[in-house]
Chains A and B, each alone.
Chain A
Amino acid sequence: MSLELLLGALLAVAAVVFVAAPFLRAVDPPRAAEPSEEQLVAAEERDRVLAELKELEFDHRTGKITDEDYRALVQPLRRRAADVLENGKPLPEQAPEPAREQHFSQSSLPSSRAHL
């Protein structure tokens, strides 16, 4: 057998041993539990709503959104954010509506300005 074929055979054996390694261990190492898909979707929705609030704040500060538009947009977003943070489940998104009554104090939400 030539040296090349021997090296080729060694490569094949090494590959087989490496691939079979998970079957050769006595005990599987513990694996951290991953969140369920429902939890992930809820976490993504939470981050999305908070990011939208930050963006809205940023757009307002940089003059892209007028004060009226800001007031109309921020209320439904805050409602959604509060719902996501308190219940872990998002409400279906609604079109923005004119501000009527604040259902919660602004301080109950994480500050979006801090992220600006």
Chain B
Amino acid sequence: MPELGRAALIVCLGLAVYGVAAGTAGPWSRRRRLAESAENAILASFGATVVAAVVLLAALVRKDFSFVYVWEHTSVELPRSYTLSSFWGGQEGSLLLWLLILTGFSSVAVLLARRSARSLLAWTVPVLAGVIGFFSFMLVLVSSPFATQRAPAEGLGLNPSLQNPYMLAHPPMLYLGFVGLTIPFAFAMGALLARRSDELWIVVTRRWTLVAWAFLGFGQLLGAHWAYVEVGWGGYFAWDPVENAALMPWLAATAFLHSVMIQEKRGMLKIWNVLLVIGAFALALFGTFLTRSGILSSIHSFPESTIGPWFLGFIGVVVLASTALVLSRLPLLRARTRLESPISREASFLYNNLLLVAFCLTILWGVAYPILTEAVRGEPITVGPPYYNFFLKAFGLPLLLLMGIGPLIAWRRASLRGLGRTFAWPLAVAVGSGGALLALGAGSSILGLVGYTFCAFVLASIGFEFARGTQARRALAGGSWVLAFAQLVGRNRRRYGGYVVHAAIVLLAIGVIGSSAYDTTGEQRLRPGQSLAVGGYTLTYRGTTSERGANAVELRALVDVERNGEHLGVMRPGKNEYIAEQQVSNEAAIRPDRLNGEDLFLIAEQLRPGGPVFLKVLVKPLVNLIWVAGFVFLAGSLIALWPDAREQRRLAVRYGRAEALSRA
């Protein structure tokens, strides 16, 4: 059915072109029907993309090798469960997934805004249609997933690294994040095109931004866990260009989520917020460009292709056009108020923004530098982890500290007496924790000790925020502590959901610091029967086993693990030899200790059946808190996202649609 897939994408492209033309002409000439037909074009583009996606999925499930894409990314022996991940395992399929999510999100945004922000929607539609148009153009004319050939008997198979359950969730989550950032961008541009000075676009896109940001954040953690268990080098984040590509828009979106609160509460930072939305969207496109163009070498990226210049051109158009629009609307974006004091909640948000953006820009520079040096000198100069780690410490530690300081300071301004009262307990907890950790030997890493002291401060600050808030609520409304706590959180979900997310970041920091500043490593060539002692563990190599899996030969080293004379079990690091793909993948063995969050991580290299092994051993304290942080992050995001009926009623009154809301 390749013709149907092609036809569906051509229809989608036609609808997008119409959406741009009618979506611009409609509000320009104040012709309501024209504007509504442009909205319908967005909805119809989703239907057309669904048809194209179903055609490709059906071909993948049937292993129809007459589709070049199916032949390149599946094989007869590929397990059915990984057929789905081969949908986005290649360039053309991943672009189709982009378009599918984009048209889906755009359609939902159009349907919701029809009820709540009709006047803003009119100018938003051509922006959405423009982005849809670019991706459908790429799929129709540059990188089609529906190219055909005479069907070979066997496919080339899927990259072994992608044959992992995490690959079923990690890429779609990142795409949901990347694509989700289109919606706030489109509404911000729509507001500027309509010359609006109100903040309706922020209200309409508040949840979209949070959803995109949460998907992007959780998707990155899933990717980190995939790298940890599958890639087998013992780490979870390597400052790979494609990992950075996902981190940069997340940092920009994080900055926006904080600074937009200042605009909502104090009417400030309007220009800054629009620029952050543009930046986050442009960085999401840049991330897609990095992965799809093959311009940089990465485990995640696709082979070099012709789509790079198109992406670069589109990013250039987006950045130039949106910046020009912002400049032309500067009078509308002037703030009505000023920062009253450098010691206030809004000031702490501003410092947080500056650090986040500075960190984001240093990463961008590190990613762009090899590309620029290759363009200028003819050979790339790679920027390695030491560069990024330096800036992670330089910006990350102050950011961590600010997470604890911000909630303790009042809006507008704070006096020294007030600060002393709110800071006393968190500071005491931090100093006490730092002292205790020093006594326990954590002073072996000064930065680690400082980081943990900051973590204690932030956790104490969050704990006291919840405690003081609950106390105040109970004093006002009475009832039990539990009821007061529930009411406190329920009445201000964004704030307390945000605090839970902050707690997740602290858990992440504890895990990262523990596993990087206090880890133990060892490596040795072992013959059967020989032992190696690392970090309190004794590891004895017993020999090898070999099994035929579904689509690979699985060779494993058998390693006995003991600690303090107690036998803890047998670990099996090794490698898989994939038959159809003719590739070998490293298969690490990991033994988590649920009591202290520590992992024993084994890598078996130079392994031959019955022969010796070169065993690498890593003991990573507290690393499992990183994965726990993912679930806490998700819980905090859900609390912040959960609809608040009181808030909805207030907004309905504000935007004059109480009647419409009561009918809905």
Contact = CB atoms under 8 A, between A and B. Distances in A.
Contacts of B657: 32, 34
Interface in A9-47: 9, 11-12, 14-15, 18-23, 28, 31-35, 37, 39-41, 43-47
Interface string B3-23: 110111001001100100000
Contacts of A73: 412-413
A51 B265 contact: yes
A41 B468 CA distance: 34
Interface string B326-354: 00000000001100100000000000000
B44 A64 contact: no
B47 interface: yes
A2 interface: yes
B377 interface: no
B415 interface: yes
Contacts of A28: 32-33
Contacts of A46: 654
A47 B654 contact: yes
Interface residues of A, number: 55
Interface string B31-75: 011101100110110011001000000000000000000000000
Contacts of A48: 264-267
Interface string A68-99: 11000100000000000000001011011000
A15 B15 contact: yes
B356 interface: no
Contacts of A115: 491
The secondary structure that dominates the B interface is helix
B654 A11 contact: no
Interface string B145-173: 00000000000000000000000000000
B469 to A, nearest CB: 6
Contacts of A113: 476
Interface stretch (B357-365, B403-411, B544-552, B631-639): B403-411
B101 to A, nearest CB: 20
A93 B339 CA distance: 11
A12 B408 contact: no
A32 B659 contact: yes
B656 interface: yes
B385 to A, nearest CB: 40
A34 B40 contact: no
Given A40-B198, A64-B414, A11 B8 contact: yes
B40 A56 contact: no
B660 interface: yes
B198 A5 contact: no
A115 B473 CA distance: 10
A19 B37 contact: yes
Contacts of B410: 55-56, 59, 64-65, 69
- How big is chain B's contact interface, by range? 35 or more
B475 interface: yes
B169 to A, nearest CB: 31
Given A5-B7, A73-B413, A66 B198 contact: no
Interface stretch (B205-213, B273-281, B416-424, B598-606): B416-424
B648 to A, nearest CB: 13
Nearest to A54: B492
B118 A31 contact: yes
B468 A63 contact: yes
A59 B412 CA distance: 11
B413 A35 contact: no
A109 B412 CA distance: 21
B660 A32 contact: yes
B417 A66 contact: yes
Contact of A19 (B2, B40, B659): B40
A66 B415 contact: yes
A35 B656 contact: yes
Nearest to B412: A73
A104 to B, nearest CB: 21
B196 interface: yes
A89 B101 CA distance: 42
B655 interface: yes
Contacts of B4: 4, 7-8, 11
A51 B14 CA distance: 46
Contacts of B411: 52, 55-56, 59
Contacts of B653: 43
A22 B414 contact: no
B414 A65 contact: yes
B21 to A, nearest CB: 12
B110 interface: no
A11 to B, nearest CB: 6
Interface of A: 2, 4-5, 7-9, 11-12, 14-15, 18-23, 28, 31-35, 37, 39-41, 43-48, 51-52, 55-56, 58-59, 61-66, 68-69, 73, 90, 92-93, 95-96, 113, 115-116
14 contacts: A4-B3, A9-B7, A11-B48, A21-B40, A22-B33, A23-B37, A37-B198, A41-B198, A47-B654, A51-B265, A56-B410, A64-B418, A65-B410, A66-B418
| Nearest 5 pairs of A and B residues by beta carbon | A8-B7, A22-B36, A59-B410, A4-B3, A61-B472
